Amino acid sequence: MNIDTTVESALAEIAAADTEATLRDLEVGLLGKKGTITELTRLIGAAPPAERGPIGKAINVAKATVTQALEARKVALVQGAIARELADTTFDVSVPGARPDLGSFHPLTLVQERLEDIFTAMGFMVLDYGEVETDFMNFEALNIPKHHPARDMQDTFWTKDGHVLRTHTSPGQIRAMKQFAPPFRAAFPGKVFRNEALDASHEHTFHQLEGLFVDRVVSVAGLISTMKIMLSQVFEREVTVRLRPGYFPFVEPGFELDMQCLLCGGAGCRVCKHSGWVETLGCGLVHPNVLRHAGLDPAEWQAWAFGMGLSRLVMMRYGIDDIRHVLGGDLRFLQQFA
């Protein structure tokens, strides 16, 4: 064993190691328990006592030299790997990123907001009342007492504690009359709920917009012309309407207002069920009992009201011939409104 040649060949091996793994193995082979450099200590025992000191020192120098060479080689290998990676990878900071999909408003929202603008322009407040109602607000105050057959017109979801998911936006009438001093005009858009079997034309959740006009004297003529103006503004063209008598306990007289189908121009199509007309809204003069329940004296105040579903308006406005598209949530359908 010779210290100088051992160190020399160790340094040559270290210089030749070209991966970190080889270098790690080499380190064990040199400085490990049975490593070539470690084994050099045997020379101490074999030497005459006078030479042991200088040999020991020389071995320490050899160890330090090899350790340093290992360290330096390790650093060089790591730097080399980084440099190669940088050279191989191209990164163009000027390439535009992937465009995220943009959301859009639902056609129901678009129509509702348009209606809110139209009614605001006509001096109506736009109010938002809750979706969970008391039996009183949803029925009793609207002249639909318990056991009245009219309750069967709207199948109701009840909560365990006896509240209802509002079956229509009409309870807003009572709340508004209790909240504001007449005369006033108010519109209440919102979701309503009915416990109905789902089919092509029925949903358990749908959207309505209710309107209420309270003054000393109101007229059916004023009601109908307001409806006509409102519909013409929604559709941005002249709309033909017709009136039929309709029964709603909270109005007297009550009407069903139909509009001529805009998709077929009255000739008959899927949306108007081939009749040329589309049932659009219910309306009438507010029943004296309703005014009384809301705390107004019917001898002093009169009111008209209307309520309409928004799905049909959406269908007519955007030429959609199947109601299931409106609430189906299919993105391919909704993306058309982006």
> What does the binding site for ligand DAH look like in residue numbers (CB under 6 A)?
168, 170, 210, 248, 251, 254, 282-284, 305-307
Rounded to a whole number of angstroms, the minimum distance from the CB of residue 126 to ligand DAH is 16
The pair of structure tokens assigned to 96 is 């535009």
Distance CA 59, CA 4 (A): 9
Do the Cβ atoms of 311 and 208 come closer than 8 Å?
no
Rounded to a whole number of angstroms, the minimum distance from the CB of residue 194 to ligand DAH is 9
* Strand 125-126 relative to strand 184-193, pairing: parallel
Rounded to a whole number of angstroms, the minimum distance from the CB of residue 168 to ligand DAH is 3
Distance CA 218, CA 301 (A): 9
- Judged by CB, which is closer to ligand DAH: 283, or 315? 283
Buried b or exposed e, range 266-289, using 16+ CB within 10 angstroms: eeebebbeeebbbbbbbbbbbbbb
Rounded to a whole number of angstroms, the minimum distance from the CB of residue 152 to ligand DAH is 13
- Judged by CB, which is closer to ligand DAH: 277, or 333? 277
- Judged by CB, which is closer to ligand DAH: 6, or 280? 280
Rounded to a whole number of angstroms, the minimum distance from the CB of residue 283 to ligand DAH is 5
H or E, element range at 199: none
- Judged by CB, which is closer to ligand DAH: 168, or 175? 168
Rounded to a whole number of angstroms, the minimum distance from the CB of residue 210 to ligand DAH is 5
CA nearest 230: which of 108, 313, 147, 151?
Answer: 313
Do the Cβ atoms of 177 and 297 come closer than 8 Å?
no
- Judged by CB, which is closer to ligand DAH: 144, or 320? 144
Do the Cβ atoms of 70 and 78 come closer than 8 Å?
no
> How many residues appear in the chain?
338
Q: Please tell me what DSSP assigns to residue 337.
A: G
